[in-house]
Structure 1
């Protein structure tokens, strides 16, 4: 198999297999979640129900008080990695074209040099966090 055949397979059958496995995993996970059931909601309804949900999501995305001072490499490196990964996955023009071909949704991408910089910073953050976790299990 040469490079062109591999690329053709990756864009065709390989992508179909990957999306199929992903969807099966999502369906399986949703089945597990919904089969657990829900407890009865006994709390009083709030006036702005959506706002309190968004507040909870934002609050739980922040590290607990004092943890950044205790383990700065894990938290700063983790945030750097996840933000960089989101930039590379969602703002790189070839990825946007792939998403557009699958869903029809499109948005403007960032310049390739910026994506390269974000990828290097992301990989460096991963290496630093890995080294920190190996040294401090």
Structure 2
């Protein structure tokens, strides 16, 4: 398959299948979670607002507790650099915005290409650092499974191929761009079924925990 054929495949059938899997998978996961049976709590609530408790935990758990900051704060910062850089690269790049516009009719101002490349580079370096930490930490290495490493891979490859396409290195532009789009298709298809789904589910899990703790009057 030459560069033109790969690009057409990645933009056409592969993108359509990946988008269908993304939408179906997210809806399926959310419906499955919301449909779970929950035991009825007959105790008297000790807090006035479950929503307030949920929001408080969503915000407070976004930063390490004081007892753990000395050991893990720097890794939390690296993780934030990865997530922020990734978000900037996805939602700030004009070609990406045009894809969203073609699908949803939404549009917003884009950022200069140099800013996008810098953000993608920071995100890629942060991902490499996080992988090294996972592989060298005895605890993380024991806890890690296929999902952790494959999710890392499908998140990392679009960054690298995107930078290669931007700087026109690694082969013909059509080939590299096709690989970049195809890697994005794989990311879309995998997102609802792997741990990357935490980009959506983290608010549900933290919010549910906050509501439960708040109802019982526990310290948040």
- Normalising by structure 1, report the TM-score: 0.84
Partner of 2:191: none
Q: Which runs of 4+ in 1 moved over 2 A?
A: 37-47, 49-56, 71-74
SS in structure 1 at match of 2:109: coil
- Partners of 1:45 and 1:70 lie apart in 2 by 33
Partner of 2:216: none
- Partners of 2:78 and 2:67 lie apart in 1 by 16
Partner of 1:43: 45
Partner of 2:136: 135
Q: Which runs of 5+ in 2 are unaligned?
A: 139-220
Q: Which runs of 5+ in 1 are unaligned?
A: none
Partner of 2:164: none
- Partners of 1:73 and 1:55 lie apart in 2 by 23
Answer with 31-40 or 90-99: which moved more: 31-40
- Partners of 2:21 and 2:100 lie apart in 1 by 17
1:81·1:122 contact (CA, 8 Å) conserved in 2? yes
Answer with 77-86 or 32-41: which moved more: 32-41
- Partners of 1:39 and 1:18 lie apart in 2 by 36
SS in structure 2 at match of 1:95: helix
- Partners of 1:32 and 1:121 lie apart in 2 by 35
- Normalising by structure 2, report the TM-score: 0.55
Matches within 5 A, 1:81-120: 81-120=82-121
Which one has more relative contact order, counting CA pairs under 8 Å at least 6 apart?
Answer: 2
Q: CA deviation at 1:38?
A: 3.8
1:93·1:110 contact (CA, 8 Å) conserved in 2? yes
Partner of 2:23: 23
Cα RMSD after superposing both structures: 2.2
1:73·1:128 contact (CA, 8 Å) conserved in 2? no
Partner of 1:10: 10
